[in-house]
Amino acid sequence: DAGVIQSPRHEVTEMGQEVTLRCKPISGHNSLFWYRQTMMRGLELLIYFNNNVPIDDSGMPEDRFSAKMPNASFSTLKIQPSEPRDSAVYFCASSLGQGRAFFGQGTRLTVV
Amino acid sequence: ELKVEQNPLFLSMQEGKNYTIYCNYSTTSDRLYWYRQDPGKSLESLFVLLSNGAVKQEGRLMASLDTKARLSTLHITAAVHDLSATYFCAVAGSYNTDKLIFGTGTRLQVFP
């Protein structure tokens, strides 16, 4: 398996623009996580899905953020409109049951 | 709300020395994970600890879990430069959930 695949790897966008981050989890995994990493706040869990259903979105910072998982092999994290403080590395991870979570390579987002 | 704390946050150690990183968490949990992150890279799973008293070892790293004390340790034996990285512990939010909350991370630097 190729592991968790995220795209794009890097994204630079202007404030106010819509940004969509994409994730393909490992085949067969039933849990998917979106994390955000910054120097100031560390690794924050934004949302997690189980069997394509959002279970806990309490970490989503505000209404500008939304996440979907239309099927078991694809998820998106959307920011609309984006702001400079959204600049961070966004990681997607997937796991099977209560096993360890495997992380993608991350998307480095810069909002100018 | 589950909180996960690590100490120290930064650790600079000489090659050949031993040291321990501590991970404390605030609520009962049945699973704890250790991850490694190299600068600019993704997170790599090191250990999964599933029960009280569990001990896992790989190379110069050994992890243990005390669920009664809500404490895990990552012990480094005879450190080498290649171990330089940031180490995170992650705790499952509660029983029967896949939600993982990460600690603050410990940045380890090993020098000659």
Model confidence at B66, pLDDT cuts 50, 70, 90, reads very high
Contact A103 B31 (CB under 8 A): no
Model confidence at A21, pLDDT cuts 50, 70, 90, reads very high
Phi, psi of B83 (to 5 degrees): -80, -5
CA distance A57 to chain B (A): 11
- The confidence score (pLDDT) of residue A18 equals 98
- The confidence score (pLDDT) of residue A97 equals 79
Contact A42 B104 (CB under 8 A): yes
- The confidence score (pLDDT) of residue B2 equals 85
Region of poorest pLDDT, from A61-65, A96-100, B44-48: A96-100
- The confidence score (pLDDT) of residue B94 equals 66
**Which residues of chain B does A105 touch, with a Cβ-Cβ cutoff of 8 Å?**
41-42
Residue in B with minimal Cα distance to A51: B98
Render pLDDT for A70-108 as a digit per residue (tens, 0 to 9).
Answer: 999 999 999 999 999 999 999 999 999 777 899 999 999
Is-contact B50 B27, C-beta < 8 A?
Answer: no
Render pLDDT for B21-32 as a digit per residue (tens, 0 to 9).
Answer: 999 999 888 789
Contact B31 A98 (CB under 8 A): yes
Chain Cα centroid distance, residue B100: 13
Contact B100 A55 (CB under 8 A): no
Render pLDDT for A33-59 as a digit per residue (tens, 0 to 9).
Answer: 999 999 999 999 999 999 999 999 999
Contact A31 B43 (CB under 8 A): no
Beta strands in chain B (DSSP E): 4-7, 10-14, 19-25, 32-37, 43-49, 55-58, 61-66, 71-76, 85-92, 100-102, 106-111
**Which residues of chain A does B48 touch, with a Cβ-Cβ cutoff of 8 Å?**
99-100
The shortest CB-CB distance from B42 to any of A33, A56, A105 is to: A105
Residue B71 has a CB neighbour count (10 Å cut-off) of 14
A/B interface, count of CB pairs below 8 Å: 48
- The confidence score (pLDDT) of residue B30 equals 77
pLDDT at B46 over 80: yes
CA distance B48 to B65: 10
Cα–Cα separations (whole angstroms), residue B103 to A15, A83, B62, B91:
30, 26, 18, 8
Is-contact A111 A87, C-beta < 8 A?
Answer: yes
Tell which of A98, A102, A105 to mutate to test the B interface (max B CBs under 10 Å).
A98
What residues 57-86 of chain A have any CB closer than 8 A to a CB of chain B?
none
Is-contact B62 B78, C-beta < 8 A?
Answer: no
